[in-house]
Structure 1
Amino acid sequence: MTAIAVFRPNDDRMTHAVSLLEELGVEPIADPMLAVEPTGAVPREDADYTILTSKTGVELAAESGWSGSGTICAIGDSTASSLDDHGYAADIVPDEFSSRGLVASLADRVDGTRIEVARSDHGSSLLTDGLANAGAYVHETVLYRLVRPPEAGVSSERIDAIDGALFTSSLTVEHFLDAAQERDSREAAIEGLNNAIVGAIGEPTQKTAEAAGIAVDAIPKRADFETLARTVVDDIEAQEKRQTRYDATPR
């Protein structure tokens, strides 16, 4: 059976990822590369715009008692859905689910405004710099830190059996390679991925992977996990069909 490594945090996101891959008829190799460490910080409540960039950020903001501030912006549909689940409403969701997409959506309306960005400690500077360049006064609150779980790295031990891999952030790439390095198998892990179909959720993740020597084969048109997973599974199936036709060609 086709095996695909998935690196989501070890919470309901991994549960959903495993269920989805099983529905798609492949074997998930669950290897959580991220764990959440809340900081206890609370988003400011005096902003004209507040930006949330993840489901985790929404959950922590809600737990802190944050009442919401100004126009609320979500980086994508999953963040917007989480806002709705916690009694908030996303006023703005960009067409492109990325920091670049948020800047493009807000740039012509934020000159002179106060913007609160509430997210992890690994948020892209593209967002804060882009909004500042558009004339906004930007404040960032770090709601949580993303760390590598000590048990991460089982996928690198099964690298020869992996047909695909799903990277959902630059940090998952970095943590995967660090875990492989601790097992003295970094080069073998990179070689194994280059014999598989590697999916990256967006351009920043792609660049991180390729800078480390990992070829990226698939980037979904829509930057969400389900689209990423389906894209990689479709690419693997297409590759297998091409190989079958090649093997059946008379020589």
Structure 2
Amino acid sequence: MSDGNSNTPRVAVFRPADERIEDAKALLASLGADPVADPMLAVEPTDATPEDAPYVVLTSKTGVELAAEAGWEPGDATLVAIGPATAEAARAAGWTVDLVPDEYTSAGLVAALEDRVDGEHVEVARSDHGSDVLLAGLREAGATVTETVLYRLTRPSDAGESAAMAAAGDLDAAAFTSSLTVTHFLDAAAERGVREAAIEGLNDAVVGVIGPPTAETAADSGIDVDVVPDDADFEALARAVADAVVERSSAKR
């Protein structure tokens, strides 16, 4: 637990070190948790902008903001956003969002577009760690697909406090928001010589992940996943993790 005088659970969160980590900390605190902020992602813009195409797919709020800052406009393109946060950022930029899939994942995007894009050019603008599921699925649906890398995701040099805490048994929960946060967490743990101990510590805690691809990455690494919310967004993840921690604590009494 968080300290000797409190039963407040410690929950590690790995959002990028901007307003997202601050919002995540505030949300977790409002849910009765002691957030351990350990940003596992740093954004390095490439200064590229999406290609002109009849369909343009944007897969993150960060990508929208970078494209908007560079002066890009969707014009007459059918603009597709992977989820509500991305769509909200696009609308804040003054753009019209034409489609948001029911499932906020690469597979959800394919399902939403596969009956529309046969013979069409689809531009996918995203990070350098985007899933191959999206490109392959759109091509299988008959689309000509291009991809523009708007930014690269790297691991901050000082990341890893949470890995040391997990190894020491000092975390009650962790909330992973992408496969890359899992990979970077484990890399940071390995650099500290505590990779196996950190995995053991996580397996004694509540582990929440934002969707099936992240769950698969965690499981393949030996991490037991306890929580996968129905909605692939951070608020749903945080609430599900907080609920699971309470349930586990109650069961131990």
> In which range does the TM-score fall when normalised by the shorter chain?
over 0.9
- SS of residue matched to 1:25: coil
- SS of residue matched to 2:249: helix
2:45 to 30, 38, 42: 38
Superimposed CA distance per residue, residues 141-164 of structure 1 (whole angstroms, 9 cap, x where no aligned partner)? 000000000000000121211100
Q: Residue 220 in 1 paired to residue 237 in 2?
A: no
TM-score (norm 1): 0.96
Identity %: 58
Partner of 1:120: 127
Q: Residue 199 in 1 paired to residue 208 in 2?
A: yes
Q: Residue 240 in 1 paired to residue 249 in 2?
A: yes
Q: Residue 27 in 1 paired to residue 9 in 2?
A: no
Where do 1:1-251 residues align within 5 Å?
Answer: 1-45=8-52, 47-69=53-75, 70-159=77-166, 160-244=169-253
C-alpha distance in 2, partners of 1:140/1:34? 21
Partner of 2:4: none
1:124: Cα distance to partner?
A: 0.3
AA aligned opposite 2:97:
A
Partner of 2:3: none
Superimposed CA distance per residue, residues 200-241 of structure 1 (whole angstroms, 9 cap, x where no aligned partner)? 101110010011100000000100000001001101101111
AA aligned opposite 2:165:
R
1:90: Cα distance to partner?
A: 1.3
Superimposed CA distance per residue, residues 163-190 of structure 1 (whole angstroms, 9 cap, x where no aligned partner)? 0000000000000000000000001100
For structure 2, which runs of at least 5 residues remain unmatched after alignment? 1-7
**Number of aligned positions between the proteins:** 243
- SS of residue matched to 1:161: coil
Superimposed CA distance per residue, residues 79-120 of structure 1 (whole angstroms, 9 cap, x where no aligned partner)? 000001111121100000000001000101100001010000
For structure 1, which runs of at least 5 residues remain unmatched after alignment? 245-251
- SS of residue matched to 2:65: helix
C-alpha distance in 2, partners of 1:164/1:229? 10
